[in-house]
Amino acid sequence: MLIVKPSFYDRFACRAARCVHSCCVGWEIDVDPGTMELYHTLEGPLGDEIREKIRPLPEPHFILQDDGRCPFLNDGGLCRIILGCGEEALCDICAEHPRFYNCFPGREEAGLGLCCEETVELLLGGESFTLIEDDDGEGDDPDRWVEQLASLRDVLFSYLRDGEGDFSGRIDRALSAADTEFPPFEPAVCAQQLLGLERMDDRWREMLEYLRDSGAGVECRLPLDDPRYERILRYFLYRHLITAKDEEDVRRLLRFCVLGMLTVCALDVVDPERKDEHLRLWSAEIEYSDENISRICTWL
């Protein structure tokens, strides 16, 4: 089995109480069957409270408070389940978040979602983004299509990283390698389209409205040669391209990744004080919604 992960993957540690945007607020928290069995055995007041604050249908999940907070997030930003029962009592989604996995015969790719502010800092604040591969020599034979996708991704990475000319031109060459192109990017039009998607956070709506209303000319001021945007695009490609079902899906997902990077860049231009937050919210609002990704790909 080939295990692939970003070079910064093993350095991740949850910020817990230091996190400004807690993943214990605003997200539906499902409880997996194995953890549900554990919760049925917990004794004492905390066990009673856990069972009381789980709604069983359509899938077992914690009943969030009116402000969207998990009922077990204390005022200090810490988890009362961990404090009372240890990390082994966490349900799978809480234990794994923000990790994601793309698993195929002979290959498992792991990553950290950019909805997490710690991941954003790891991607943009340290060493250049590279992938680490480790083959344990076990498991199924690799899937030929997935290996082709991985090889194509390596080619695209090389175009984006080492190609001659400005980054915009390198993007065009990467698109050409996949037999596609990107339509003219109009930030205001893009913002209006994104406002029509499912949204969770009012700050995302406000950011998009500000971009929509910022007037023409933003697209001429995109600082694409800033290395942060190469890192962002390559990380988007790492997460999404390997999931393509066919060649047309490759082209759709490649355009989707380029749009995400351009949108984040445009938001950075009109509101430079909240750069990292633009990337985090793009991930939280778009990458974690299959419906939103599908609608964007259809629009493109």
- Please tell me the pTM assigned to this model: 0.91
Alpha helices by DSSP H, listed for the chain, are 33-41, 44-52, 80-85, 92-96, 117-125, 144-162, 167-177, 187-195, 202-212, 227-240, 247-270, 275-282, 290-299
Contact 264, 278 (CB under 8 A): yes
pLDDT of residue 12: 94
pLDDT tens per residue, range 9-22: 999 998 888 888 88
Residue 277 to residues 112, 123, 165, 226, 288, Cα–Cα distance (Å) = 16, 13, 29, 17, 16
- As a whole number, the mean pLDDT across the chain is 93
- Ordered by start, the domain boundaries in the chain are 24-96, 144-299
What pLDDT digit, counting tens, does each position of 136-192 carry? 878 788 999 999 999 999 999 999 986 677 999 999 999 999 999 999 999 999 999
